[in-house]
Every structure is written in structure tokens, then in C-alpha cells.
Structure 1
């Protein structure tokens, strides 16, 4: 199975990404841009969600409409993924949010899971993994592993910037998980950071850099 990688060329996405990358963008503005970009990218990522017919009574007559058929779960990878949740929630306020904590060991660059409170049985049919940076890909692969073991059948990854190395790792382990990004950058440096990237997305959101 060939992996699907979708890069948004929407003018608003590319404009906001340019401001997000800027080293002089302060944390408050950075957080706002992450929310806005998350909403725009999720809008595109959810274009194929299943719907079902529903009749709605308007003040004048009955309108034949459609509503989402599947329940959506948002899975932000802690901590950087937290900043994307609010943007997606504005579009889908009924979505459930499940946190998965995975950090990257600075020496091995391998993912280490430290938090997972998923219930025994999934209550959602579709999960969106949210993480601004798809760098080494280890955290994304580990999260997709967890969700598939949990029983979720449809998974998508929504991020802001990806590196070729991270995309390749996802393609190797989860070719059935589409990846939605605003950009694919050049490479990873020796510390596992995306170049040119935007720095540490968690530090820049929370002012801890």
C-alpha cells in the first residue's frame, strides 16, 4: 500500500506558516498560529469523512441535510500537540480528546511512552493524531501503534511540518495512515530537529525555550 501525503498549498496556510517559522514570533502569536493552522489543515484532512442524511426543521420548512456519521477522536501527542486541539475543536466541538504522552530520548532519538489513559474499548471510529512536527517519526509511529492496538480502524496524521525521515518511517510502519502537512522540509540535524523547521514547537508555544 502506498502512503498518502497531502501538502496544503492553500494561501492562508502558507502565509501563516511563514510567520510561524519566524524566530521573532512571540509565544502568544505562535500559539494562535498553531491553532489556526490546525483548523485549516483539519478542514482539508476531514473532507472524506462519512455523512448520513438528516432532516432539519428550519423556521420555514424541512431542510434535507447531512451530518457526520462517525465519531471523531483527537489524539494530541504531548506536549506540542496540545496547541493544535483548540483549533480542531472549533471545527468539531463534539470530538473526544485522548492524550498520549510520548517523548523522544535525546540520546537515542527513540520514542518513550509515559502517558496513556485510553479506555478499554474505543468510542470513536476516526482518530486524528495531532503533532506540529513529524521529525524522526518515532512518536507518530508509536501513537499509531497504540491506536491500532486499541481498535481504531481509520487514522490520520495532521501536522504542520514534516521531514523526509519521519515520512519514510511512517510509510514503513503505517502506509495506511494519510499524512496532512503544511510543508515538507529538507532534513533532520544531528539532534533530530527539522531543518529549516521552526525550532522546538513545544518550547515556542509554552515559552520554555
Structure 2
């Protein structure tokens, strides 16, 4: 699909398979989500701009590459996005963090915003929005709407699973935002859940169902 990158690294796919299993425990699911998010983070940041810096090794002075410009912002769509956020911060501990509180109304399947907090200078930074599932796409669309309203324009979206319906809706609304995912599953069921999926990521991560 145009604008969508499927991260098919063997370790990502192996861990995802274990996460899908209904018998995987809450502790196991949480650990795997943290591990897989680190691997996904490698891919979504693969083409970050670099610049050269003069450093001294124990042997001599040299020119060596470092990240250019302002640091990243990881924007977590609450609450399940925090599962991806934790692993990504282990890899990039200096990243700024934004939290976007959006939940899906179970009757209308529409996104309802209840919280937003982000750095003031997000217009100058690369924003990586994270949420385990891109199902209907409504929550992701709403979150990115809010970021753009506050000036953000360099945005990427990272998820664990995506449904074709969600990808289409997301790309229709935000064609300038690339999507990174570990899997494009078959479809959405009548309740708006990804099939075959892995259930509700937030419930499985926090043991609330």
C-alpha cells in the first residue's frame, strides 16, 4: 500500500505471533510489546538526518556522525500507546514525549479527545505517533488532527497491527503521514476490532479484561 511500510523483520514477526496467542499472559504480553517496540523504533527512525561532529577517541581526533537538529517527539495515544512508548524510550531516552488522550466510543466508533500535552516547539520536531492498533483509524486521525492544529507537520505513525479499512481512512485524511506497522491483517469485524488481530491491546497489556 502506498505510504505504508510493513516491518517484516523475523524477530518482529516471531514476537508478534506470541503476542497474538490468547494464552499469552499479561506479563508476557507487556514484556513482548516493550521488546517489539524497540525493534519497530529502529525501522521508523532509519532515515533520520545526520551531521558530522569532531570528537576524540582514545587514539585520535575524528569526524563522526550524530543526529542533526532537534530531538524527536514520541506522541503516545493513551492508553495503549504507552506500551510502545516505553520500549522506544529505552532506545531514544532523550526524546521528548507527548500524550494524547483519545478513546473510541463503542457505540459510534468515533474518537473522543480528553487530554493533550506536547512540547511547545513541536512544529520544529519530527513527531512519531504511536498506538498498537490502527483499526477504524478514527483515534489516529483525531490525534494527528490535534498535532497539526498545534503546528506539527513532520509526522510519522507507528503501530503494531493495521486493518486495510483503517489504513485507507487514515491515508485519506492524512496522505502526508507515512504509516509503519508490523502487520496488515485481514479486516475489521462488526465491532471494529482487527481480525485475526490480538484482541484489545490495552486490556491485554494492563490486565483489565
Say yes or no: TM over 0.5: yes
Q: Which runs of 5+ in 1 are unaligned?
A: none
Report the alpha carbon displacement of residue 119 of structure 1 after superposing the two structures with TM.
4.7
Aligned-CA RMSD value = 1.3
The change in CA–CA distance for 1:72 and 1:124 in structure 2 (over 3 A counts) is: farther
* TM value normalised by structure 2: 0.95
2:169 pairs with 1:169: yes
* C-alpha distance 45-120 of structure 1, shift in aligned 2 (>3 A): closer
Q: Which residue in 1 is equivalent to 2:152?
A: 152
Q: Give structure 1 regions of 4+ aligned residues with deviation exceeding 3 angstroms.
A: none
Secondary structure of the corresponding residue to residue 87 of structure 1: helix
The equivalent of 1:138 in structure 2 is: 138
Write out per-residue CA displacement over residues 148-201 of structure 1, whole angstroms, 9 at most, x where no aligned residue: 121122111111000011100111011111111110001111111101000000
Residue 49 of structure 2 is matched in structure 1 by: 50
Q: TM-score, normalised by structure 1?
A: 0.95
Q: Write the deviation string for residues 108-133 of structure 1: whole angstroms up to 9, x where unpaired.
A: 00000000123544275101111000
- C-alpha contact (below 8 Å) 1:128/1:157 kept by paired residues: yes
* 2:123–2:151 Cα contact (<8 Å) kept: no
User: Relative to structure 2, which stretch is displaced further, 173-182 or 123-132?
Assistant: 123-132
Q: Is residue 2:49 matched to residue 1:39?
A: no
Question: Counterpart of 1:76?
Answer: 76
Give the 3-state SS of the residue equivalent to 1:146 in structure 2.
helix
**1:3 Cα deviation after fit:** 4.2
| 1:90 aligned partner | 90
Deviates more, 1:19-28 or 1:150-159: 150-159
Of stretches 156-165 and 47-56 in structure 1, the one that deviates more from structure 2 is: 47-56
